[in-house]
Amino acid sequence: MSDIDNPYANPVSVAPPLSPAEEKQWAVLAHVLGIFFGIITAAVFFFLYKDRGPFVRSHVVAEWNFRLTIAIVAGVIGLFAVSGWAIAFATALSGPEASSGMALSGIVMFLIGWVALVIVQLTAAVLGVVASVKASNGLRYVFPLSISFVKR
């Protein structure tokens, strides 16, 4: 049996490159869906489209790096907020002789953390819109303050 007759001769297929219009379309979609689904969309687009063309690679790598950066920042801020909640909760459980200043500082930490988390997510959404507009215009975009985990 020759390789032409054998459907299992080459089990790995290579996706064809995208046309410039398709590259632009997928780059825009990666940024728009990244606004709503965050790091999940960035991971899917990165692993599916990173080798399909230079323009789409540039955008999915930028989106992947940005969403990883946002996830790390959000995780740190979330830990700050949860530790504030834990301080306030532990102080409340320790009884009336506990310091009310400690409970207040825990509540303030919690509130600062959640306000900062909202600000980070709103900023990420705005930057995602900017990136999608740049992609639709055929321009490359690098997110500000994004850590480069994957090189372009």
Q: What is the mean pLDDT of residues 80-94?
A: 88
Band of pLDDT at residue 11, cut at 50, 70 and 90: low
Q: What is the mean pLDDT of residues 85-99?
A: 80
pLDDT value of position 10:
61
Band of pLDDT at residue 57, cut at 50, 70 and 90: very high
Query: What pLDDT digit, counting tens, does each position of 93-126 carry?
Result: 877 666 777 888 889 999 999 999 999 999 999 9
Q: Which two tokens stand for residue 60?
A: 């999915």
How far, in Å, CA of 28 to CA of 7, rounded? 36
Q: Which two tokens stand for residue 109?
A: 């930490």
**DSSP per-residue string spanning 121-149:** HHHHHHHHHHHHHHHHTT-----TT---S
Q: What is the mean pLDDT of residues 74-87?
A: 94
For 93-108, letters b (16+ CB in 10 Å) and e give: eeeeeeeeeebeebbe
